[in-house]
Chains A and B, each alone.
Chain A
Amino acid sequence: MSILVNKDTKVIVQGFTGKEGSFHAEQCLAYGTKIVGGVTPNKGGQVHLGQPVFNTVSEAVKATGATVSMIFVPPAFVADAVMEAADAGIELAVVITEGAPVRDMQAAKAYATKHNMKTIGPNCPGIITAEECKIGIMPGMIFKKGNVGLISKSGTLTYEGANQVCREGFGISTAVGIGGDPIIGLSYKQLLPLFEADPETHAIVMIGEIGGDLEIQAAKFIKEHITKPVVAFIAGQTAPAGKRMGHAGAIVSGGAGTAKEKMEALVAAGVKVVVSPAEIGKAIAEVLGKK
């Protein structure tokens, strides 16, 4: 078991024939992901990486039955691509592209929600169900199959966390990189109940950072609804206020969104909070019992 995606998930790629889209689609195919086609306007009818290319998402969905789209289009076209996917009946859009304008994402997400389409990202590594399905740009080999679910705003901290969990002898059920932009698709609050309901997931790693209040919302949710152990790390305890730390949304503004307040909220919700990402693996071993 896993959440959202598995070995049977049919995936198309928007921005399929571009440089990034091609490179990562090939890696995903090699991992075993069922990529059944792609979309690049005016290249419909071609075959790319052994898969059919379509002019529109709507055609691609009709021809392939795909339910998930991995989006690699340039930043200025992200909103259009997300809305096209929603309009075509895609159930989950995974947006890898970095640098989409906030106003665009606001409109795109509102439209996606109206069409019951889930979104992951933008500016994220994607989602992976270990040893089954990789939809994104993460290095597949570090995710060994296991029973720890992982949710992270940061790409490399996703890898760091997963790697430590696997080195302790555990593994990953599904890992989701949700991205660090001011407006993102699925967040902790929507993903936590999916892990709670997944019988294969026994513990959850949650990696957050400064800026916004998604981690605070998550803490409230955990307190009320999550029975499985949660280990959390919040990046940016030493980040100066008012500075944007790499991610568009990673900024403490007006004294709000600090690592401290998030860590305190999570501790109060019964979460095992670590002060360094180097402790994630050990903390999982503690909550699940040594292997």
Chain B
Amino acid sequence: MNIHEYQAKQIFAKYGVPTPRGIVANTPDQAVRNASELGGKIWVVKAQIHAGGRGLGGGVKLARSLEEVGQFASEILGMTLVTHQTGPEGKLVQKVYIEEGADIKDELYLGVVLDRAKEMPVIMASTQGGMEIETVAHNNPEKIIKIAVDPAIGFQGFHGRELVFGLGITDPVEQKKFISFASKLYKLYMENDAEMIEINPLIKTGSGDFLALDGKMGFDDSALGRHPEIEDMRDISEEDADEREASRYGLSYISLDGEIGCMVNGAGLAMGTMDTINYMGGTPANFLDVGGKANAETVAKGFEIILKNPKVKAIFVNIFGGIVRCDRIANGILEATKMVNVHVPVIVRLDGTNAIEAAEILRNANIPNVIAADDLADGAAKAVAAAKGE
């Protein structure tokens, strides 16, 4: 789960990670009130969406008067912001963050992510702040400092020294400030079961202070149960409505661009089914894992979600029945076709326990648009042909 910048900064503040002061607003009037409450002469009006690249898309504006704050807030609120991370459809901006202007001397990068190979969190820092870290990693990998921190010992002095000397911070007072910043960030990463934190840019001000000018945080979904205060930060308008509905029924769904709807048990086989359709010249319309319990209700729900997509020309149901027997799944599929009006051809491949009985059930049911397939290759071929109207 991801959260907004203003929410990440609330967490930062709780841990003493310095940020500019700011207040979130839902309306232009509120934005102006926030700005006058913050005081000062310069404010930044920032669109709150779960995507990077907001500035380039026109979602971050520097205001030099309260009038400008109101003007920019009314422009940004309600706009559909398109950035390289939102996809071409963009994201609707429903909140703006009004922040006091900062005196930027240097822009740095600081992040914490899980290093899967080392199996511990790694702190990443760079002097190339304000640029995408992937771009830096590609063009100037030597400009990224990576410090793995073993949670068994936690953030130690030497981690801090490696960071500041690596970044070329030479002033002892600044070193101390930066090390304190990084150690607090590591602490909040661990204590909140974060999956990633990214501060880009982290700025050094003219007076030598370090401030998180931006803040991005994602969390381990499996750990949200023990962080109700973070679960409360969930913004459902940022999530795909179909994916959300599917998850309520224990289905894992991701929509794609193609024409063949897929319903599969198991995430790996679901990806493998998409790959096979692609290999045979078709295009998958979605990823859908119905999980271990493929019964009439889950299959019917799956059909419903797949068929919401008007591009779908055929559905490939690919189930490897293990503990759940295929004959029972076949009956479930037949029942589901009665519960949902399935107007496209459905190719059904059931393999595993009692596969022969299952094929018999499907044949005997004699439903015109339900086509039985022998195996994965046969099913994918039939689905590709059906989608082409063959």
> A residues within 8 A CB of B195?
102
Complex: A218 Cα to B274 Cα, angstroms: 24
Complex: A242 Cα to B377 Cα, angstroms: 28
9-residue interface stretch from A54-62, A80-88, A209-217, A219-227: A209-217
The verdict on B366 contacting chain A, using a C-beta distance below 8 Å, is: no
Determine which of A109, A155, A163, A180 lies in contact with B351 in the assembled complex, contact meaning CB atoms within 8 Å: A163
The verdict on B66 contacting chain A, using a C-beta distance below 8 Å, is: no
Evaluate contact between A276 and B275: CB separation under 8 angstroms.
Answer: yes
> B residues within 8 A CB of A180?
267-268
- Chain A's closest residue to B113 (CB) is A253
Evaluate contact between B380 and A278: CB separation under 8 angstroms.
Answer: yes
The verdict on B387 contacting chain A, using a C-beta distance below 8 Å, is: no
Evaluate contact between A154 and B268: CB separation under 8 angstroms.
Answer: yes
Complex: A242 Cα to B240 Cα, angstroms: 14
The verdict on B120 contacting chain A, using a C-beta distance below 8 Å, is: yes
Q: How far is the CB of A272 from chain B (nearest CB, A)?
A: 16
Q: Which of B114, B193, B322 has the most CB of A within 10 A?
A: B322
Q: How far is the CB of A17 from chain B (nearest CB, A)?
A: 19
| Given A182-B114, A246-B289, also A235-B226 (CB < 8 A) | no
Complex: A254 Cα to B174 Cα, angstroms: 31
Complex: A224 Cα to B152 Cα, angstroms: 33
Complex: A156 Cα to B252 Cα, angstroms: 15
Evaluate contact between A157 and B222: CB separation under 8 angstroms.
Answer: no
Evaluate contact between B320 and A154: CB separation under 8 angstroms.
Answer: no
- Chain A's closest residue to B116 (CB) is A212
The verdict on B223 contacting chain A, using a C-beta distance below 8 Å, is: yes
The verdict on A1 contacting chain B, using a C-beta distance below 8 Å, is: no
| Given A107-B151, A157-B269, A160-B320, also A245-B193 (CB < 8 A) | no
Complex: A277 Cα to B289 Cα, angstroms: 16
Evaluate contact between A102 and B268: CB separation under 8 angstroms.
Answer: no
| Given A157-B272, A212-B116, A254-B137, also A137-B323 (CB < 8 A) | yes
| Given A160-B269, A276-B279, also A102-B274 (CB < 8 A) | no
Number of interface residues of B (CB under 8 A): 54
The verdict on A75 contacting chain B, using a C-beta distance below 8 Å, is: yes
- Chain A's closest residue to B264 (CB) is A156
9-residue interface stretch from A4-12, A41-49, A138-146, A197-205: A138-146
Q: Name B204-230 residues within 8 Å CB distance of A.
A: 220-223, 225-226
Evaluate contact between A254 and B271: CB separation under 8 angstroms.
Answer: no
Complex: A99 Cα to B225 Cα, angstroms: 11
The verdict on B342 contacting chain A, using a C-beta distance below 8 Å, is: no
Determine which of B222, B225, B272 lies in contact with A233 in the assembled complex, contact meaning CB atoms within 8 Å: B272
- Chain A's closest residue to B150 (CB) is A110
The verdict on A101 contacting chain B, using a C-beta distance below 8 Å, is: yes
Evaluate contact between B221 and A248: CB separation under 8 angstroms.
Answer: yes
Evaluate contact between A247 and B267: CB separation under 8 angstroms.
Answer: yes
Complex: A145 Cα to B320 Cα, angstroms: 20
Q: How far is the CB of A144 from chain B (nearest CB, A)?
A: 14
Evaluate contact between B287 and A246: CB separation under 8 angstroms.
Answer: yes
The verdict on B352 contacting chain A, using a C-beta distance below 8 Å, is: yes
The verdict on B256 contacting chain A, using a C-beta distance below 8 Å, is: yes
> B residues within 8 A CB of A277?
269, 272, 275-276, 376
- Chain B's closest residue to A137 (CB) is B323
The verdict on A103 contacting chain B, using a C-beta distance below 8 Å, is: yes
The verdict on B265 contacting chain A, using a C-beta distance below 8 Å, is: yes
Evaluate contact between A76 and B225: CB separation under 8 angstroms.
Answer: yes
Evaluate contact between B320 and A163: CB separation under 8 angstroms.
Answer: yes
Evaluate contact between B284 and A278: CB separation under 8 angstroms.
Answer: no
- Chain A's closest residue to B377 (CB) is A278
Q: Name B255-311 residues within 8 Å CB distance of A.
A: 256, 264-272, 274-280, 284, 287, 289
Taken residue by residue from 155 to 188, chain A's Cβ proximity to chain B (1 for < 8 Å, 0 otherwise) reads as 1110110010000000000000000101100000
Taken residue by residue from 246 to 274, chain A's Cβ proximity to chain B (1 for < 8 Å, 0 otherwise) reads as 11111000110001000000000000000
The verdict on A33 contacting chain B, using a C-beta distance below 8 Å, is: no
Complex: A279 Cα to B381 Cα, angstroms: 13
Evaluate contact between A238 and B278: CB separation under 8 angstroms.
Answer: yes
The verdict on A285 contacting chain B, using a C-beta distance below 8 Å, is: no
> B residues within 8 A CB of A18?
none
Evaluate contact between B322 and A159: CB separation under 8 angstroms.
Answer: yes
| Given A103-B193, A254-B133, A277-B376, also A213-B271 (CB < 8 A) | no
The verdict on B375 contacting chain A, using a C-beta distance below 8 Å, is: yes
The verdict on A34 contacting chain B, using a C-beta distance below 8 Å, is: no
Complex: A217 Cα to B271 Cα, angstroms: 22
Please list the 3 inter-chain residue pairs (A to B) with the smallest Cβ-Cβ separation, ordered nearest first.
A154-B268, A246-B267, A156-B266
Please give the residue numbers on chain A whose beta carbons come within 8 Å of chain B beta carbons, in ascending order: 27, 75-76, 99-104, 106-107, 109-110, 137-139, 141-142, 152-157, 159-160, 163, 180, 182-183, 207, 209-210, 212-214, 217, 233, 235-240, 242-243, 245-250, 254-255, 259, 275-279
